[in-house]
Structure 1
Amino acid sequence: MFEPATGRVRPTFYARIDYQAALKYGEPEAETLQWWQKQSDEACHEAFGGKARPDVVARALRTFIATHCAKPRVPWGNGAVFDTPLLESWFARVDPQKKRPGQ
């Protein structure tokens, strides 16, 4: 979280998902894996060395957002057609939320 007007960084969320467990929810694109092959060993370990279950991380991230983000919750990412749709798709696959009456 951050305040765009001031640049002040507020609470952060960080988790490392188990790569093998993540494959249950979809395969990465070949181009993405090729890109990672060109990265440092440290970066690859950081990206692929996690142990957390994807569903547990998704629920924890939902809780973090609900706790720390005022409404309206506006994501900040790498363009409206990249980060946000990827995150929405990931949530839909990993931790789908059931619609409640009136929603």
Structure 2
Amino acid sequence: MSAVKLSREAAYDIILSPVITEKATRVTEFNQVTFKVRVEATKPQIKAAVEMVFGVKVLGVNTTTTKGKKKLFRGRPGQRSDFKKAMVTLAEGQTIDLTTGV
């Protein structure tokens, strides 16, 4: 598979935010970090973006797309936006500190 070339701005556009939940914190023991990413982003793009932004070696990327729930907003029916999460597996010895800003 060929490497994806991204500009620095495109890399920052793909990664929206880290996911800070109990489960996401628990999998950091297994060298995994979870990010909220753009719905259109592909696994090779996510891998290239994480490697560029954080300067780490990525071994694998698993993604899930969560469909938005139908909810009531002020009594009117509406729908939340879909979102995509990426669970990124890092190489042995690599870490990303999510408590500091990029």
Give the structure with the larger strand fraction. Answer: 2
Same fold (TM over 0.5): no
| Coarse TM-score class (shorter-chain normalised) | under 0.3
Task: Identify the structure with the greater helix proportion.
Answer: 1
